[in-house]
Amino acid sequence: MDSKQMRKVWIASLVGSSIEWFDYFLYGTVAALVFNQLFFVTEDPTVGLLLAYASFALAFFIRPFGGVIFAHIGDRIGRKKTLVITLSLMGVATFGMGLLPTYQAIGVWAPILLITLRLVQGLGIGGEWGGALLLAVEYAPKEKRGLYGAIPQMGVTIGMVLGTIALSLMTLLPEGSFMTWGWRIPFIFSALLVIFGLWIRKGIEETPSFKKVQESGDIPKLPIVDTFKYHWREVLIAIGAKVVETAPFYIFGTFVVSYATTNLGFSRTTTLNAVMIGTIVTTILIPIMGSLSDRIGRKKVYITGTVGMALFAFPYFWMLQQQSVVLLVIATVIALGIIWAPITAVLGTMFSEIFDAKVRYTGITLGYQIGAAVAGGTAPLVATSLMLEFNNSYIPVACYIIFTALVSLVAIWAVKDRSQQHLDDVNNDAGLKKPTNSRKAKELSQV
């Protein structure tokens, strides 16, 4: 493939992922600042916040269903067509949120409509990530697969930076203007980003790995059945490895917005700016960490970040407790910018290397989305509940972060590092043909 086509693949993978996550994180942040007051109206503000976070978590539980639906399409019809559908779904839902009337205008229908659009968002993101990742990884030469696989992961943080910038600008408005119409602008503006993303993806061909599966005629009728039948161990490994990547991320990036403003007295703008600086740092480090994994292996990079996450859990909250803006920024940069970067940089590539091409979309999507549903969407809710239960003490939340690291370390122990293998070799190792009983037993003994 020539360099011009490869740049198109990079841009298509990165832009789509950035747009998807811009939409998604926009909801997470606004849930803590706006939705608890305009859509989930209760006499107790804390209950309203919990309901807003519950609606945030709800989409994480629909994501695996979206993943199954679109991964089926991706493994049966192709990666490219699936990515167009998922991006369109996400864009329509986010644009619609910006136009919704509030609880004060239409009563209970306001949260119902908001949750409905949130579920549509969840369906879209459920299929988007796997397709964006495979678009990059399945085009990549084996010696640069870690770097290429890190590209769509950058979309996560770029999307968050865009969402944070948009909201930071809007929070400069007077309080009344922000709560009336200012928060809606980023949601409505997302329509332009979606149109740009669809235009970019129009010129991309199907990936080489999927073309080979098509040529072989070995496309499964029900990829999810084959995945659970022959690759259920890999799915469990992926779920476990996802835990430390997703739960701390939503604590550092979403929960901290309400915690720092409500409990510690920081302003919304200051907190959002700290998160933005942290995400800029991690965006720069992600491709560096991905490239490093091509040289020393995925597991070493991942384990380094995971151990760092466990060690920094208590210092992170201690630094926030000092109520210093400088320490808030430093803590966020270390946690979100430096420690989280190596974990997320290699996660997608590592997942793609443990599944064969005919079920790769389904396998990585199931692992990623189920892990996100179990540990990601619930993280702000769990953290808020723990603080309520233990008189606003951060100790249980720090222990929760350490627990997620331990879960992922156990899961990653079972992964064989295949960073120097070609994906075609991985296909053969994983069993592109359905394994015989003896062969299957041998393979499972090696996991």
Q: What is the pLDDT of residue 439?
A: 42
Q: What is the pLDDT of residue 314?
A: 97
Give mean pLDDT, residues 173-183.
89
Q: What is the pLDDT of residue 310?
A: 97
**pLDDT band (50, 70, 90) for residue 309:** very high
Higher pLDDT, 339 or 426: 339
Q: What is the pLDDT of residue 447?
A: 34
Q: How many angstroms separate the CA atoms of 387 and 50, rounded?
A: 12
- Max mean pLDDT among 4-8, 29-33, 338-342, 430-434 falls in 338-342
Give mean pLDDT, residues 354-371.
86
Give mean pLDDT, residues 44-52.
78
428 pLDDT more than 50: no
Q: What is the pLDDT of residue 94?
A: 87
**pLDDT band (50, 70, 90) for residue 303:** very high
291 pLDDT more than 80: yes
Q: What is the pLDDT of residue 435?
A: 42
Higher pLDDT, 446 or 356: 356
Return the closest-CA partner of residue 168 out of 176, 156, 178: 178
Give mean pLDDT, residues 195-224.
79
Mean pLDDT across the chain: 84
266 pLDDT more than 80: yes
Q: What is the pLDDT of residue 425?
A: 53
